[in-house]
Amino acid sequence: MIKDHLTIMDEMKGYASPRARLTRMLKSGTIIQVRRGLFVDNVNVSRRILAPIIYGPSYLSFQYALHHFGLIPERVNIVTSATYNKNKDKMYHTPLGDFKYYYLPCKVYPYGIMKEEEDGFPYLLASPEKALCDTLYKTSGINTIDDLELLLFDDWRMERAELLKLDSGFISFIAPLYHRRPLVLLKKWFSRENNDA
């Protein structure tokens, strides 16, 4: 169960010293402090539901979502999320794992997000198209279509057939909103591939 500091203190109001009791529980491992003011009583709590509670507003995206949808083969150890209006990426090292938050332009933030639920807790997840666009937004050194293909198929080891299953209409809509060259190239790539098909 996920608990904030007020909930913990309320649960311990029967003790003579709730703070001392909390300290003992933390030392014994009965409860784990994820970050200041955020606690869990189970090490197996899903990192997906923790991510938006640790720092928000945010939704799961980037490499974490790309792996979730099977677009990249590598296992992702860091839970990556998107946020906005921060102008600074943030990293949280917790006893339950690492959580990284990348900022995005406000214009693109609300599109391509799905509401999911796990263990009664809601969280937001980028669609595969949005996760790809978000990741490219934070990628530098992509100046040509050849650079893009090298990144997608050699570096990230994506499968062309799986990529072509994505909603190219959504990518055509959202790519220009990022105002980044890799996204313009992605839109052109999809347009070229769909015309060749």
Closest alpha carbon to 132 in 56, 83, 64, 188: 64
What's the pLDDT tens digit per position in 7-40? 888 888 888 888 888 889 899 988 999 999 899 9
Confidence of residue 113 (pLDDT cuts 50, 70, 90): very high
Closest alpha carbon to 110 in 177, 44, 64, 49: 177
pLDDT at res. 112: 97
What's the pLDDT tens digit per position in 52-73? 999 989 999 999 999 999 999 9
The structure tokens listed for 37 are 């003011």
Residue 128 phi/psi, 5-degree rounding, is -60, -40
pLDDT at res. 107: 94
Buried b or exposed e, range 26-60, using 16+ CB within 10 angstroms: eeeeebbbbeeebbbeeeebebbbbbbbbbeebbb
Domain residue spans of the chain: 2-40, 47-196
The structure tokens listed for 18 are 């709730």
